[in-house]
Structure 1
Amino acid sequence: MNARASLTARLMSASAWRDALLDWARTDGLAWIYILKTVSAALLALGIAMKLELPQPHTAMMTVFIVMQAQSGMVLAKGFYRIAGTLIGSLVTIVLIALFSQQPTLFLLAVSIWVGICTFGAACNRNFRSYGFVLAGYSAALVGIPAAQHADGAFMAAVTRVTEVTLGIICAGTVSALVLPQHAGDTVRTVVRARYARFVEFVADTLAGRVDRAGAEQINARFVADVVGLEALRSFAVFEDPRTRMRSGRLSRLNTEFMIASTRFHSLHQLMNRIRANGQHEVIDAIKPYLREVSPLLLKKNGEPVRNAADAGHAAAQLQVFKEMLPRRIRETRAMLESRPRIDLLDFDTAAELLYRFVDEMHAYTLTYGSLTADLHERERTEERYVPRTNTIAAGVAGLRAAVVSLTLGAFWIATAWTSGGTAVLNAAATCALLALMPEPAKTASQMAGGTVFAVVAGLIAMFFVYPRIDGYVLLCTALVPFLLVGMLMATRPRLAGYGMGYCLFFSLLAGPDNLIHYDPSSFMNDAIALIVSMLVTAVASAVLLPPASPWLRNRLLRHLLQQVAAACTDRLGHARQSLESGTRDLMHQANALATDRPDVQAQMLAWMFTVLEMGHAAIELRTELANLPDDARYAPSAAWRRATQRMLEALAALFDTPTRERLIAAHEATSASIDAALQTLHTVITSREDRHRLQRMLTYLHFIRTALLDQRSPLNVSMSGMPAPNPNGGNRTA
């Protein structure tokens, strides 16, 4: 027994060790792989640059730290845009030097304006496209400021700069792709599977009443991040993975279909809550049986969840059958309700229409998900694309801030003739552009300044105590590894990432070895002071000049979000739904990033997001129905009900352009008048079943808008609490 117990204990101990090792491999193990790959690529770039006798090998080494990412697709994408940005920045540098080489004040003014424009472009774009703008501005400063003092060498300075950057990118991409690679395509597939399963589970739990309001908010906030994250991953993965490249159109379509399906489900759930609050329990009882049938349709034959794209075929087939039978069953249920008094048939019609739409959109989402098993598929041909939205005022503030910082330090350089003034200007330009992409630029700049202080100390030790005592590339690598590991360890820890970024970049700049090392303590300390001062000035400017998290900019972002509804009511239809869905979620993602320490603000923005999506969807679908009406006098734009509907759309656009209590009341009254006019037309003019169904469908959109305007839990009403509410009794209640 003792031997058996001892053997059992040893097996359990071995199992515990194995589990602990696997857990470490999935977490810290991956971080260490990334650290070692980055250091190896940096040393490789340094060695090749020295072998080629490039003038500044440390630039290639620093490029590796800027470009390197955990996944090879990200490295290739970032490297591509970095090369493009560097080429453009270098060309602009040559032009500016040709124009202003004899006028340093005008040259610095032109460079500052260019840096501001590029920072604005970086803030307006997404993913690594924004990084191309960062490098276009940074390269103009990095190449132009030193070269302006020796204009005859400007072209060669630009060529060597591009060569060093390209070498660093090639080394980073090669090491990332060949040494224990992690592929963005694998992450894309994991995210797609997890999101589908999570959404199906959310639908089932919500319909069963197992999700409270707080839980729903958390899940919906995660879905917003999933949408933006998947689009970013797709844009990275197409650089490295042919399978993802062949499915790129379907992944975009999948994202759009998920957004539409999740909005529709939220609208249905909200409407059911409003119907219940209004006491229409018979309508709830009539719709509930259909809702209970939805969840089992999203499972496999054996009742298990759909775990991958190959399992989605059965769910799609079940949804197709249910969707085809649903209209007839709904008509039968409606016929039973018509004979009952005090039944709001508009409530039932609207719930039934939303249910049908959700099933139809979930069917499309499931079909696209299932199509991912094939390399080629007809659903790849799609025009549905993610349409980002950026607040141009916030981006303009970031660009203005970068220009002001560059001009301020440039003026100080000219006034003092500081030998390292150029270093301060070009580093400030680069830091401002990089921080334009971050929600807390002042905090990050301060951390980078702290990391630079550490880099100065480490650089002093390396430059003046280590390098003089070694000889050869192997000993150089051996000496550099401990210094670089310290920075990478900080960079991989979320709380120390800013310090690690500053340390790695500026240790490379200050103490990165060149072929001919100049042991000049005075120059070293001047450059070190210039780097720290430039980041501190950037931090102060970011904290003072309208920081991204300031209430004023948050309110501008909210206004931009609300104007999505105004656009849905007035802009050309075209790709209006995709623009509404992706643009609204993109703005929401930005708002979340700016309010990481304000959960109350995040909850408020999430509530506004769904209000915008619900209202925008209803307006777009109503306008689509109007646009598809036959050429008939009953549907002419001059018809009374058409004019009333147009006035309603105008009132809704005005409300979301500038929300006020008066405009809320006006929008409600216009919606009620539109419903009354449409009902009168339905009862007195329309006779055929097809025409009645078309007009009833438009009535459901109008009714949904009216219920949303009356919802006391809506942010429209919550933000105006204490003021007279619209009359809930306006308009006819039957169809």
Structure 2
Amino acid sequence: MHFIKLLSFRFTTLPSLRWIYAPPKATIIFVLRNLIASYIALTIALWMEMDSPRWAIMAVWVVAQNSSRGEILSKAYWVIFGNIIGMIAVLCIVASFPQQPLLFELSVAIWVSICCWFASCSRNFVSFGWSMAGFSCAIVLFATVRDQNETFMMVMSRGSYFILGILAENFTARLFDLNLQNNAYEKLNQELKIAIEKAIDSLVKILNGNNWAISGSDQVLSSVIAFNNTIEFRELEMRSIGRRGDHARATLSLISSLMVKAMGLSIHIQKNQKETLNFTYILPTTIHCLDEILKHLQAGKEITPCLQALNELRWECRQRIADSFYTDRNTVKQISSEYAQRALNDRILYQTLREVLAELEATLQQLDKSENQNLRDGFKFHMETSLDFKRAARNSIRAFVAITMGCLVWEITGWHNAPVFLSFLCMGCSRFCVFDNISLACRGWFKGICIAIITSAFFNFLVMPLITSIEMLCFILFFPLSIGALAMCVPKYAPIASGYMFFFCYLLGFSNQGRVDEVTFLNDSMALFMSGLVALFTYSIVFPYHTRRLRRQMRQKLLNGLHRLANSTTLPLGRKWIHFVSVSFVMLMRQLSEEQNSNLTNTYRRGCMAVMLIGINVIRLQAMVNNDIMTEDVKNILRVVLRRIAQFKGDKARYGQHARTVLIAYRAIAKFRKREETERNLAVRIEVSAAISSLILIAYALNRNASFLKVKSHNMLFY
């Protein structure tokens, strides 16, 4: 029995360790590349007899990134930027407070907090650059706190180490990246084609009768947002030739809009397909056209014939809408009410399909421009990202409280090794703000410190005394560095591995003159352990992390966005609203990466898709109210619906407001259907039909996602 349990444990454990004994090819290249860079940086630092060679190898692992070459270049640039800003701050703080210890410590805490603010408000590696500016300044300041005459030399020394590490890493990376520009161009186009193929595949499934196939579009949207964040790295790899990056961003924005409109088509087909006249006749032609487009994309053929076919389909839909209006206009006295309603459903479906095909055509046009770049193309596309100032304020306050507590401990105890403790406390606080899930990053950081202390103790006490040459040192370091590098490629272990790699190199303390003695090692280990412990304690009590509160915050943010849309007189572009909701959802999913509840994740995905759809149609209704085509009585009905959307709350005490909003939307649909039957003005009929289409989607999305929009609004002011 005992043997069976042991065997079952072994079989369940082996797959979880696959990242060690069977890593992917890209991971192996990442490990080898950074190991070679570490050896080069360490060898040069020892050969030049620098005062602290460990910082050279530590710099390599600060820049190390298991991703594209563009990300590595971007990270290297911003690390250098952060170092320069941090070193300037060092000289300013030392010159301002040379003999005032309290003001000196307070200024360091304020500077790190300011850097945390900017890091939290930035994206990609700009955030890491600001983080670097914070902890590089603190490390130098506390390293020279007992002899500030050495500050300038320390500034030059630490800056030299990071530049050496970055150069070594970039040199080895170039050895593994041949024909980088062409590969980046091909990869960009391939990823764009894959995203479009997924969108077309979802659309084909909808037209084939799988009405909720579009529920998978939330995953397409998540991948689109993630891909959109990497385009700037592709531009670095392509050396920013032409406007390929702008066309790629425009393509991704159109894919997002296509997904939302396809969701609207799915709802209309689900509700109205059995009550139409001849809409189903166009479906086989449309499906055949989409299948041909998929074949062209997969085969890499010219897409001009596809654009022509889509244009013909759009005109076919428009012609059928016109024919329907013409028939109704000439036989209005003979047709029955049932026939009129079926004809209206036809027009709604044709118009929705026409809009979907128009988005697809525009998407393919942007893809074609991205592939066939014109060097004189002046096209620009930029999507602003909303800044989360509350999150930035929380991170700044957390860092300030943690560093102030550390300085207070130093002032009370007079601890001899407190400067090391404060240096790495500032480093941890600066790095935490880069992560969306700060709780996960803080715990991973502390675990990494503990593993680094245990591993480096073994090497310092048993292995390092036996090392007599640089070759033997590199051979011995291969195993601990390789394991850490492999763990950096596993998202689950990445926060732990980043702390382990940095502090393992620090605690080994490479030197030409000797090795780290036991007393120094124990003092440094205690300082590191206490820095991780204080950070963990502070971040657990100052704005503690709660997943439920984060979910409520995101839902409240989306609900407030709907209120602003319904109240607004200056309407944003639909793509901006889609981008706002998509980014909010992706950030939430990154913050909730610990949770394995797929049902909860799917609920939030569908809820976000519904909010996107509601917002797009609210923008349409607002545009109808603002134009001069609609009559005033129709506008008044739309104003009532918009006013209800702008006011309804989702909290439990007022849950009836949500139901009344849905009821008012359905009543407006019933009134507009009767009005559309008898209206003689063709322009007004077209607008009323469009209003009915938007109201159907709003009412359906509100009704099906009532639980998602039920948000408790209290305790949401600052978190």
On whether the aligned pair clears a TM of 0.5, the verdict is: yes
Partner of 2:389: 392
Q: How many Å separate the matches in 2 of 1:543 and 1:166? A: 35
Pick from 650, 653, 668: which aligns with 2:646?
A: 653
Q: Say if 2:78 and 2:128, in contact at 8 Å, map to a contact too.
A: yes
Q: Name the CA distance, whole Å, in 1 between partners of 2:221 and 2:254.
A: 13
Paired with 1:658 and 1:377, the residues of 2 have a C-alpha distance of 54
Matched, 1:40 2:40: no
For residue 65 of structure 1, the aligned residue among 61, 65, 69 is: 61
How far did 1:569 drift?
3.1
Please identify, of 549-558 and 471-480, the stretch whose mean Cα deviation from structure 2 is larger: 471-480
Which amino acid in the other structure matches residue 128 of structure 1? F
Asked if 1 retains the 8 angstrom alpha-carbon contact of 2:214 and 2:266, the reply is: no
Q: Does 1:434 align with 2:431?
A: yes
5 Å-filtered alignment, 1:544-559, equals 544-559=541-556
Assess, with a 3 A threshold, how the Cα gap between structure 1 residues 673 and 546 changes in structure 2: closer, same or farther: same
Structure-2 change in CA distance of 1:679 and 1:449 (3 Å): closer
CA gap of 1:400–1:160, structure 2 versus 1, over 3 A, is same
Write the letter of the residue equivalent to 2:282: Y
Residue 351 of structure 1, aligned match among 349, 358, 377? 349
| Residue aligning to 1:11 | none
The answer to whether the 8 Å contact 1:298/1:305 transfers is no
Matching residue within 244, 248, 261 for 1:247: 244
Distance between the aligned counterparts of 1:442 and 1:695, measured in 2? 51
Shift of 1:537: 3.0
Q: From the superposition, tell whether residues 715 and 672 of structure 1 become closer, same or farther in structure 2 (CA, over 3 Å).
A: closer
Are positions 1:299 and 2:291 aligned together?
A: yes
Matches of 2:625 and 2:170, distance apart in 1: 53
Give distance in 2, aligned partners of 1:693 and 1:433: 57
Q: Which of 646, 660, 663 is 2:657 aligned to? A: 663
Looking at structure 2, the residues matched to 377 and 361 of structure 1 have their Cα atoms a distance apart, in angstroms, of 25
- Once the two structures are TM-superposed, the CA of residue 78 in structure 1 deviates from its matched residue by 0.8
- 2:557 is matched with which residue? 560
Q: Is the 2:45–2:53 contact (alpha carbons within 8 Å) kept by the matching residues of 1? A: yes
Q: Are the equivalent residues in 2 in contact too, given 1:250–1:380 (CA < 8 A)?
A: no
Shift in CA distance, 510/654, structure 1 to aligned 2, threshold 3 Å: same
Q: Quick one: distance in 2 between partners of 1:575 and 1:46?
A: 54
Match of 1:521 in 2: 518
| Counterpart Cα distance in 1 of 2:425 and 2:577 | 37
Corresponding position of 2:52 = 56
**Residues 277-336 of structure 1 deviation map (CA, whole Å, 9 limit, x = unaligned):** xxxx223x54333344322222338x8362166443322221111112221112324566
Unaligned ranges ≥5, structure 2 = 1-18, 712-719
Out of 278, 288, 311, the residue aligned to residue 320 of structure 1 is 311
Farther-moved stretch of structure 1 (44-53 vs 200-209): 44-53
Q: 1:488 to 1:522 in 2, by over 3 A?
A: same
Match of residue 13 from structure 2: none
Contact 1:391 1:560 in 2 (8 A): no
Deviations 1:483-506 (A, max 9, x none): 322322333344443443222111
The amino acid across from 2:237 in the alignment is E
Check if 1:288 corresponds to 2:272.
no
Report the alpha carbon displacement of residue 613 of structure 1 after superposing the two structures with TM.
Answer: 0.7
- Within the alignment, does 1:332 sit opposite 2:296 as a pair? no
1:304 is paired with a residue of what secondary structure? helix
Secondary structure class of the residue paired with 1:61: helix
The alignment status of 1:612 with 2:611, answered yes or no, reads: yes
With 592-601 and 176-185 compared, the bigger mean Cα shift is at: 176-185
Percent of aligned pairs with the same residue? Answer: 19
> 2:192 & 2:22 partners in 1: Cα distance?
20
Q: Matches of 1:233 and 1:247 in 2, distance apart?
A: 13
- Deviation sequence 1:365-424 (CA, Å, 0-9, x none): 1111222321227886143x3333454333432332222222222221222122222222
Give yes or no for contact 1:595–1:601 (8 Å, CA) kept in 2: no
The corresponding residue for 1:203 is: 203
Q: What is the identity, as a one-letter code, of the residue corresponding to 1:160?
A: S
C-alpha separation in 2, matches of 1:101 and 1:135: 23
2:75 matched to 1:78?
Answer: yes
- Shift of the 647–453 alpha-carbon distance from structure 1 to 2, 3 Å rule, reads same
Q: Equivalent residues in 2 for 1:440-519 (5 A)?
A: 440-463=437-460, 466-471=463-468, 473-517=470-514, 519=516
Give the deviation of 1:66 after TM superposition.
1.7
Deviations 1:162-214 (A, max 9, x none): 23222222221221122255765554333222222222112112221347x5x
Q: Which secondary structure state, in structure 1, belongs to the residue aligned with residue 51 of structure 2?
A: coil
Structure 1 position 714 matched with structure 2 position 705 = yes
Given that 1:184 and 1:233 are in contact with CA atoms closer than 8 Å, whether structure 2 keeps it comes out as no
User: What secondary structure sits across from 1:307 in the alignment?
Assistant: helix
Kept in 1: contact 2:324–2:347 (CA 8 A): no
In 2, the alpha carbon distance for the partners of 1:466 and 1:210 equals 64
- Separation of aligned partners in 1, 2:186 and 2:406: 45
Letter in 2 for 1:531: L
**What's the secondary structure of 1:372's corresponding residue?**
helix
Counterpart-to-counterpart distance in 1, 2:650 and 2:38: 51
From the superposition, tell whether residues 233 and 656 of structure 1 become closer, same or farther in structure 2 (CA, over 3 Å).
Answer: farther
Question: Of 173, 176, 184, which residue of structure 2 is paired with 1:176?
Answer: 173
CA distance in 2 between counterparts of 1:35 and 1:593 reads 25
Does 1:372 pair with 2:370? yes
Q: Hey, what's the Cα distance between the residues in 1 that align with 2:45 and 2:643?
A: 63
Select the residue among 400, 404, 408 that pairs with 1:407: 404
Quick one: which amino acid aligns to residue 368 of structure 1? Q
Counterpart residue number, 1:621: 620
* Residues 351 and 378 of structure 1: CA distance in aligned 2, closer, same or farther (over 3 Å): farther
Is 1:418–2:415 an aligned residue pair?
Answer: yes
**How far did 1:95 drift?**
2.3
Letter in 1 for 2:600: V
1:539 correspondence with 2:539:
no
* Cα distance change on mapping 1:27 and 1:509 into 2, 3 Å: closer
Deviates more, 1:36-45 or 1:647-656: 647-656
2:698 to 698, 705, 727: 705
- The 1:137–1:695 alpha-carbon spacing in structure 2 relative to 1, beyond 3 Å, is same
Q: Secondary structure at the match of 2:75?
A: helix
> In the alignment, what sits opposite 2:192?
192
Pairs within 5 Å for 1:92-171: 92-171=89-168
- RMSD between aligned alpha carbons? 3.5
Give the match for residue 602 of structure 1: 601
- Greater displacement, 364-373 / 649-658: 649-658
Q: Give, in angstroms, the shift of residue 361 of structure 1.
A: 0.6
Whether the 8 Å CA contact 1:65–1:505 is kept in 2: the answer is yes
Which amino acid is 1:413 matched to? W
The letter of the residue matching 1:358 is: V
1:693 to 679, 686, 697: 686
* Corresponding residue number in structure 2 for 1:15: none
My pick for the range that moved more, 358-367 or 39-48, is 39-48
1:693 is matched by which residue type in structure 2? Answer: I
CA distance in 2, matches of 1:61, 1:324: 64
Q: Is the 8 A contact 1:644 1:673 kept in 2?
A: no
Within 2, Cα distance between the matches of 1:558 and 1:224? Answer: 18
- How far is the alpha carbon of 1:592 from its aligned partner? 1.6
Measured after TM superposition, the shift of residue 265 of structure 1 is 0.3
The TM-score normalised by the length of structure 2 is 0.84
Q: Distance in 2 between matches of 1:318 and 1:155?
A: 68
Name the CA distance, whole Å, in 2 between partners of 1:54 and 1:185: 41
Alignment partner, residue 24 of structure 2: 28
Q: Distance in 2 between matches of 1:336 and 1:51?
A: 90
CA contact (8 A) 2:348 2:689 kept: no
For the 8 Å contact 1:300–1:314, the answer to whether it is kept is no
Structure 1: segments with no counterpart, 5+ residues: 1-22, 721-735
Counterpart secondary structure, 1:56: coil
CA deviations over 1:688-723 (Å, ceiling 9, x no partner): x446534543454345434444x3x23368849xxx
Distance 1:625-1:487 versus aligned 2 partners, 3 A rule: same
Equivalent residue letter for 2:63: V
Instruction: Give the partner amino acid of 1:59.
Output: W
Q: Which amino acid aligns with 2:694?
A: Y
